[in-house]
Amino acid sequence: MKYISTRGGMTPAPYSETLLEGLAPDGGLAVPEQLPAVDAARLEAWRGLDYPALATEILGLFATDIPRDDLARMCRAAYSPESFVASDVVPVTRLDAFAGGLALVGLSEGPTLAFKDMAMQFLGQALEYALARRGDTLSILGATSGDTGSAAEYALRGKDGITVYMLSPQGRMSDFQRAQMYSLTDANIHNIAIAGVFDDCQNLVKELSGDLDFKRAHHLGTVNSINLGRITAQIVYYFWAWLRASDGVPSADRGGFEVSFAVPSGNFGNILSGHFARSMGLPIRRLVLAANENNVLDEFFRTGVYRPRSAADTHATSSPSMDIS
């Protein structure tokens, strides 16, 4: 499978190369030329797999340039008991006190207790693998308002050939996440506080990533939600959650069994993975997006008007990881 840019100016590239590039050369996002299809028979064949094995199967549909044995090893390393507290990695807990069959998908079992561990732990393995195969190095330039930074740094700390420069808005992260990031002493991790809001940090990342000469000279890459590796790794837990939700459904009825997902989202990277999963054939009825007061993207999709906020107009909320402007 090859990947192209949403802006149409990228020569089709394999998965590993796309991971290292981060943002496409024309400034767009890398997406598959076409999404793989998953039918009911394949879903049933996956039912008995543990999480690392399911990740291998699903990511194998996207990372076709990585030998399956290597991919399986990376998934085992990413979703190991040393990194994830829950024995099944992603526990799906039924909330029996509520009507309508509600369940909670536990995505906070990783080393930083943030859902972004789910993608970052795999991405760290994949980047190190791709760099070793190429004999290259990479400088990761990232922006965070909280959980992206800590999840990325814990996934990339000590990785061969990788140096991390993480930008964060000064005074706009939770004390817990700031402590997670700033307490790391690994030689390849560098934290930089920026006077402003998250999007000031993100704009710096995009500007530098869009300067192709600078990007190539300094071997720049990204781990924000613009990196395809994160989007594809997040697809896995939508399939896992559906499989667990349908375990108690009679086999004859599973083909038409639909679930809905309610997803807290800032810049919509997580719910995009859910959209891809549904487009691949996963029986999803609805994707419900929850935003906080900083609802710039929700406003854009509802009205067609993109209205970025200034730092003064960006709310500091109890969910700082979703505070985009």
Catalytic residue numbers? 116
Task: Decide if 100 contacts 260 (C-beta within 8 A).
Answer: no
Composition of the chain by helix, strand, coil, percent to 5: 45, 15, 40
CA dist., res. 212 & res. 199, Å (int): 21
Tokens of 283: 């029986």
312 CB neighbour count, 10 Å cutoff:
7
Name the helix (H) or strand (E) containing 140: strand 138-143
Tokens of 237: 């837990």
Nearest to 33 by CA among 66, 54, 10: 10
Phi, psi for residue 173 in degrees, rounded to 5: -115, 160
Residues 6+ apart with CB under 8 A from 185: none
Residues 6+ apart with CB under 8 A from 213: none
CA dist., res. 113 & res. 267, Å (int): 20
What's the burial of 70, exposed, middle or buried (CB within 10 Å: 0-12/13-18/19+)? middle
Question: Residue 281 region, left (φ>0) first, then alpha (ψ -120 to 50), else beta?
Answer: left
Tokens of 6: 């949403």
CA dist., res. 27 & res. 143, Å (int): 17
CA dist., res. 29 & res. 19, Å (int): 11
CA dist., res. 76 & res. 89, Å (int): 11
